[in-house]
C-alpha cells in the first residue's frame, strides 16, 4: 500500500507536468497524446486521496477481518470516478482540449476536488475514530497527511491558474516524510535492521494470509552481554552488537535479520532449504568460538540459539513468539545444549505451561484453590496439634496438576505472591473452623516464597488478613525455605522481628539442603526448624550422619527452637528421629496430606494422645 501511494503520487506529478507542456504545445504534439496524458493526470490526482485512504485502512485494520469490506466499500467512489473520467472524451464534463481554444475546463470539474476531499475526510475520520488503537507516532503521520493535502488542493482551487505540479510535489514530499517516519518506527536505530515490532508484523501477515506456508524462525541470543557494557561502556557494547548484526546479515545473502531484543537477533527463513538453515547455524556457532574485536577491545562472545518451524495452519503469533522464547530459555538453562529446536515434544510442554498459567489465573481470580493439610505429630504429647498447609489443583480441565509443576510456573509469573495471600486467608478460615468445632490446634504452617519478602508492606498485609478473619495470630506459623533465607537474609530477619511482636512464630523449612548456616539461622527468631528429609534419610545406616544430625538437633533445642523431622515414612526412620530427640514428626508414617474435611476428621479423632 505504501508503494502504491508513492507510485500514484509521482505518476500524478509526472503526468501533470507532461500534460501542461503538451497543452502549451498542442500545435506540434498530436492531440490524442495530449488527451491521453491529461486524462491519466485527472484520474490519478484525485485518487491520491484514495490510495492514502487505503493505506490508512491497511495500517489501522491490519488484523481486523472487516478490513477487506472497508477497502471494498472505499474503492466504489474511486471506480465510479474513474469511469466518469473515461467517459470525459465523449461528455467533455471535466475538460476539453481542441486546436481552437486549447485547454478548456468542463462544467463538472469540481467533481475532481470533491472526490479528493471526500477521501481525505474519510481518512481523517477513520484515524480520529481509531486513535486509541493506533501508536502515537503512527497516529501523527496518518492524521497529518490528509490535512496538509487538503490545504494544498484548496489553494489550487482558489488559484486555478497555478498548475497542480506544486500540489503533486507537496504530496510527494509528504509521502517521503511518511516513508522516513515509517522507517523510524520499523527499523532499529542502532543496527539498521528491522526491529521486533516489524518482525511481529511480518509473522502476523504470514500467519494470517499464508498459513499454509512453512517458514523457520531462529533467535540468536548473546550470553552475559551486560559484562561487556559494564567493562567497556555502552558505546563499545553497541559497536559489538553492530558487529554481530553485520555478521548475521552477511552469512546468507538476502536473509531477513531482525533486532529481537537488546542482545538477541531473530533470523527469518522463508524459502531457504534445510541445508541452508543448518549451514547458517553452523556458521554462527563457528564464529562465536572466535574473538570479536572492536577498537582496542577483544572479547569472546557466547550465544545460544532457539529454533522453531511453522508447520501447523492453526499456529498463532502469540504461540510462535512464546515457543521461540521458550526454546531460547531452554538453551540458556543448558537443558538441551546451546542450540534448542522447539520440536513437538517441547511444543506440547509449552502448551501445557500455557494451560497451567491460565488455570492459575482463573483459580486466583476465583480464589478456588483446594487446600490440603498434613497433620504433624508431637512426640512428647502424642497428639496432632500442628499441621502444614498445602495447596492443590486436582480439579482442572487438564486433570490433576501437582505442586512440583505449578509452583515454579506461579513463581516465574509472579502469581505466587497473590496466591500466598489467598492461602493465608484460607488457612485462617480453616483454623477458625477447627476452633468453632472445639478441635484443639496450636498452629498451622504457611509457607512463604522468597519473592514474597520483596513486597512492600508485607507485615501489614499479613496482619490485615489475620485480623480480618479474627484468627489468633499465634495459631499461624509462617515458614520459608533455606534458599529464601540465603537470598533475602535481611528482609527475612526484619519480617521475623515484626511478626514476633504479634506473637507469630517463624519456621525454617528444609534445613539441611545447603543454602544456610548456623550463624545465619541463630540470628533470626525462629520458633521451629524443619529437618529436610535428606538429613533423615542420611541417618539410616550411617552412625556419623546420625551423630551429626543429633548434635544439630541438640544445638537448636538449646537455642529454644522446636525441631521437626519431615519426610518420615518408615518405622526405622521414626525410631531414628525419636532417638535424636526431635520435638515433632511430619510424614506419611503418621499422616498424608488430606483435604479440609479429612483433616478435620483426622484431628478430631486424634485430639487425644495416640501413644
- Please write down the HEC assignment for all residues of 11-78: HHHHHHHHHHHHHHCCCCCCHHHHHHHHHHHHHHHHHHHHHHHHHHHHHHCCCCCCHHHHHHHHHHHH
Residue 489 falls inside a structural domain:
yes
pLDDT score, position 519: 67
Global confidence as pTM: 0.61
pLDDT score, position 524: 78
Confidence class of residue 514 from pLDDT cuts 50, 70 and 90?
low
Residue 191 falls inside a structural domain:
no
* % of the chain at pLDDT higher than 70: 91
| The last residue of a domain, from among 307, 342, 377 | 342
Residue 351 falls inside a structural domain:
no
Q: Do residue 32 and residue 95 come from a single domain?
A: yes
Q: Do residue 144 and residue 269 come from a single domain?
A: no
Q: Do residue 178 and residue 241 come from a single domain?
A: no
| The last residue of a domain, from among 186, 210, 234 | 186
| Mean local confidence (pLDDT), 441-458 | 92
Q: Do residue 479 and residue 537 come from a single domain?
A: yes
pLDDT score, position 440: 92
Residue 348 falls inside a structural domain:
no
Q: Do residue 117 and residue 266 come from a single domain?
A: no
pLDDT score, position 28: 86
| Mean local confidence (pLDDT), 93-117 | 86
Q: Do residue 177 and residue 203 come from a single domain?
A: no
| Cα gap 140→299, rounded to integer Å | 43
What's the Cα-to-Cα distance from 377 to each of 48, 602, 606, rounded to whole Å? 84, 12, 10
Q: Which residue has the cell 512453512?
A: 214
Query: pLDDT at residue 47 above 60?
Result: yes
| Mean local confidence (pLDDT), 252-272 | 89
Residue 347 falls inside a structural domain:
no
Q: Do residue 556 and residue 410 come from a single domain?
A: yes
| The last residue of a domain, from among 311, 342, 373 | 342
Comparing 19-28, 220-229, 342-351, 474-483, which segment has the lowest mean pLDDT? Answer: 342-351
End-to-end C-alpha distance for the chain, whole angstroms? 84
Residue 286, domain CATH: 3.30.70.270
pLDDT score, position 142: 74
| Cα gap 371→351, rounded to integer Å | 26
Confidence class of residue 356 from pLDDT cuts 50, 70 and 90?
very high
pLDDT score, position 477: 95
Q: Do residue 468 and residue 540 come from a single domain?
A: yes
pLDDT score, position 83: 93
Q: Which 3 state secondary structure label does DSSP give 387?
A: strand
**pLDDT tens digits, one per residue of 161-205:** 555 445 555 565 566 566 556 666 788 888 889 999 889 988 888
The size of the chain, in residues, is 611
pLDDT score, position 243: 92
pLDDT score, position 315: 78
Q: Do residue 375 and residue 297 come from a single domain?
A: no
Residue 359 falls inside a structural domain:
no
- Strands 256-261, 339-341: parallel, antiparallel or unpaired by DSSP? unpaired
∠ CA 592-594-596, rounded to 5°: 150
How many distinct structural domains can be found in the chain?
3
Q: Do residue 465 and residue 597 come from a single domain?
A: yes
Comparing 228-232, 312-316, 350-354, 571-575, which segment has the lowest mean pLDDT? Answer: 312-316
Q: Do residue 172 and residue 214 come from a single domain?
A: no
**pLDDT tens digits, one per residue of 281-291:** 999 999 999 99
**pLDDT tens digits, one per residue of 526-559:** 889 999 888 888 888 788 888 988 998 998 898 8
pLDDT score, position 465: 96
The DSSP call for residue 435 is H
Residue 352 falls inside a structural domain:
no
| Mean local confidence (pLDDT), 220-238 | 87
**pLDDT tens digits, one per residue of 363-375:** 999 999 999 999 9
Query: pLDDT at residue 88 above 60?
Result: yes
Q: Do residue 386 and residue 461 come from a single domain?
A: yes
Residue 350 falls inside a structural domain:
no
Provide the residue range defining the domain that includes 24.
Answer: 2-186
Residues near 59 by Cβ (< 8 Å), separated by ≥ 6? 1, 134, 138, 142
Amino acid at each position: 500500500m505504501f508503494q502504491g501511494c508513492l507510485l500514484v503520487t509521482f505518476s500524478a506529478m509526472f503526468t501533470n507536468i507532461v500534460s501542461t507542456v503538451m497543452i502549451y504545445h498542442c500545435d506540434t504534439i498530436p492531440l490524442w497524446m495530449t488527451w491521453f496524458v491529461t486524462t491519466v493526470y485527472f484520474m490519478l490526482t484525485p485518487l491520491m486521496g484514495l490510495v492514502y485512504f487505503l493505506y490508512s485502512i491497511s495500517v489501522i485494520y491490519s488484523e481486523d477481518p472487516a478490513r477487506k469490506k472497508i477497502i471494498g466499500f472505499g474503492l466504489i467512489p474511486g471506480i465510479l470516478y474513474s469511469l466518469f473520467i473515461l467517459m470525459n472524451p465523449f461528455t467533455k464534463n471535466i475538460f476539453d482540449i481542441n486546436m481552437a481554444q486549447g485547454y478548456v475546463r468542463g462544467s463538472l470539474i469540481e467533481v475532481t476536488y470533491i472526490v479528493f476531499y471526500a477521501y481525505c475526510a474519510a481518512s481523517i475520520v477513520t484515524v480520529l475514530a481509531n486513535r486509541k488503537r493506533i501508536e502515537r507516532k503512527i497516529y501523527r503521520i496518518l492524521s497529518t497527511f490528509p490535512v496538509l493535502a487538503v490545504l494544498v488542493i484548496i489553494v489550487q482551487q482558489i488559484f486555478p491558474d497555478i498548475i497542480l505540479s506544486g500540489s503533486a510535489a507537496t504530496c510527494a514530499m509528504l509521502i517521503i516524510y511518511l516513508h522516513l517516519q515509517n522507517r523510524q518506527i520499523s527499523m532499529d536505530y542502532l543496527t539498521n535492521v528491522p526491529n521486533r515490532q516489524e518482525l511481529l508484523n511480518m509473522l502476523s501477515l504470514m500467519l494470517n494470509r499464508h498459513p499454509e506456508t512453512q517458514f523457520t524462525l531462529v533467535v540468536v541470543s548473546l550470553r552475559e552481554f551486560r559484562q561487556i557494557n559494564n567493562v567497556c561502556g555502552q558505546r563499545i557494547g553497541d559497536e559489538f552488537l553492530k558487529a554481530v548484526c553485520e555478521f548475521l546479515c552477511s552469512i546468507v545473502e538476502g536473509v531477513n535479520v531482525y533486532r529481537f531484543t537488546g542482545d538477541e537477533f531473530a533470523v527469518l527463513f522463508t524459502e531457504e532449504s534445510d541445508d541452508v538453515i543448518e549451514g547458517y547455524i553452523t556458521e554462527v556457532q563457528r564464529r562465536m568460538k572466535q574473538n570479536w574485536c572492536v577498537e582496542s577491545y577483544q572479547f569472546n562472545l557466547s550465544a545460544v540459539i532457539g529454533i522453531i518451524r511453522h508447520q501447523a495452519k492453526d499456529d498463532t503469533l502469540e504461540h510462535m513468539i512464546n515457543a521461540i522464547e521458550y526454546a531460547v530459555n531452554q538453551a540458556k538453562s543448558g537443558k538441551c545444549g546451546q542450540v534448542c529446536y522447539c520440536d513437538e515434544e517441547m511444543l506440547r510442554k509449552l502448551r501445557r505451561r500455557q494451560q497451567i498459567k491460565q488455570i492459575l489465573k482463573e483459580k486466583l481470580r476465583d480464589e478456588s484453590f483446594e487446600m490440603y493439610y498434613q497433620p504433624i505429630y508431637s512426640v512428647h504429647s502424642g497428639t496432632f496439634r500442628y499441621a502444614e498447609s498445602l495447596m492443590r489443583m486436582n480439579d482442572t480441565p487438564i486433570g490433576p496438576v501437582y505442586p512440583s509443576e505449578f509452583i515454579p510456573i506461579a513463581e516465574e509469573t509472579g502469581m505466587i505472591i497473590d496466591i500466598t495471600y489467598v492461602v493465608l486467608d484460607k488457612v485462617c478460615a480453616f483454623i477458625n473452623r477447627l476452633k468453632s468445632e472445639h478441635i484443639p490446634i496450636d498452629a498451622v504452617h504457611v509457607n512463604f516464597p522468597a519473592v514474597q519478602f520483596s513486597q512492600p508492606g508485607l507485615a501489614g498485609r499479613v496482619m490485615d488478613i489475620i485480623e480480618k478473619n479474627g484468627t489468633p495470630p499465634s495459631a499461624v506459623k509462617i515458614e520459608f525455605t533455606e534458599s529464601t533465607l540465603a537470598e533475602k537474609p535481611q528482609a527475612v530477619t526484619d519480617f521475623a522481628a515484626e511478626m514476633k511482636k504479634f506473637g507469630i512464630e517463624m519456621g525454617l523449612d528444609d534445613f539441611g539442603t545447603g543454602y544456610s548456616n548456623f550463624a545465619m539461622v541463630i540470628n533470626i527468631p525462629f520458633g521451629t526448624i524443619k529437618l529436610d528429609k535428606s538429613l533423615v534419610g542420611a541417618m539410616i545406616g550411617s552412625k556419623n550422619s546420625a551423630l551429626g544430625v543429633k548434635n544439630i538437633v541438640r544445638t537448636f533445642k538449646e537455642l529454644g527452637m522446636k525441631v521437626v523431622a519431615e519426610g518420615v515414612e518408615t518405622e526405622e526412620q521414626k525410631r531414628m528421629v525419636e532417638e535424636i530427640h526431635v520435638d515433632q514428626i511430619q510424614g506419611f508414617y503418621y499422616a498424608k496430606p488430606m483435604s479440609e474435611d479429612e483433616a478435620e476428621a483426622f484431628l478430631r479423632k486424634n485430639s487425644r494422645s495416640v501413644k
